Amino acid sequence: MTLRPWVHEEGELVADMGIFQVNRLRARSPRTGESRSISVLQAGDWVNIVALTPEEQVVLVRQFRHGVREFTLEIPGGMVDRGETPAQAAVRELREESGYAGGEPVLLGVVAPNPAFLNNLCYTYLLENCRRIGEPELDRGEDLEVLTRPLCDIPGIIASGAIDHALVVCAFWWLAQKHTRSFRP
């Protein structure tokens, strides 16, 4: 069987939530001809940053996440602002969330966070030779603790469940594909 894309027929904005919009649309199956109601969240692209110090320490942030009502251990990241490239957003987000800056951003990989209902992408960048250059510049809705851990400890931290954010785990997978030397103790 040859797969064909569904045809999107009509749509409406259900809610504008600021960081994303909820859209409902009708989509017709190319196989059955049946029309169904589909929900899509339209969101801006995101960036994640694996920031390494000269001593091979990873810059991490700990923050409260409302979805799971828990504190999570993550890498810095955030939204790509209008008029900004993902690489520029990576540099900005690292500085704002952690107070760190480093070398040129190197793209490790790009993923679709959940293509079933999200339309955006998440870009993961590596910044090496990062140093703390100031205090974090947090948004009003952010409360972060900045810490560092040895890169060689990251696989164990993930295995323990202390890092369980899917996009962060994916970021370290990208890093392992390109910098396998770094994960050896």
**Residue-level pLDDT at 138:** 86
Q: What is the pTM (predicted TM-score) of this model? A: 0.93
Same-domain pairing of 107 and 166: yes
Same-domain pairing of 59 and 28: no
**Residue-level pLDDT at 1:** 76
Domain that holds residue 36: 7-43
Same-domain pairing of 29 and 80: no
Same-domain pairing of 148 and 59: yes
**Residue-level pLDDT at 140:** 86
Per-residue pLDDT tens digits for 20-36: 999 999 999 999 999 99
Would 1 be classed as within a structural domain? no
Same-domain pairing of 88 and 175: yes
**Residue-level pLDDT at 178:** 85
**Residue-level pLDDT at 185:** 56
**CATH no. for residue 94?**
3.90.79.10
Spans in the chain with pLDDT lower than 50: none
Per-residue pLDDT tens digits for 71-102: 999 999 999 999 999 999 999 999 999 999 99
Domain total in the chain: 2
Same-domain pairing of 19 and 93: no
Same-domain pairing of 52 and 101: yes
Would 80 be classed as within a structural domain? yes
**Residue-level pLDDT at 182:** 67
Same-domain pairing of 155 and 84: yes
Q: SS3 for the chain, per residue?
A: CCCCCCEEEEEEEEEECCCEEEEEEEEECCCCCCEEEEEEEEECCEEEEEEECCCCEEEEEEEEECCCCEEEEECCEEECCCCCCHHHHHHHHHHHHHCEECCCCEEEEEECCCCCCECCCEEEEEECCCEECCCCCCCCCCCEEEEEEEHHHHHHHHHHCCCCCHHHHHHHHHHHHHCHHHHCC
Would 101 be classed as within a structural domain? yes
Would 2 be classed as within a structural domain? no
Same-domain pairing of 39 and 91: no
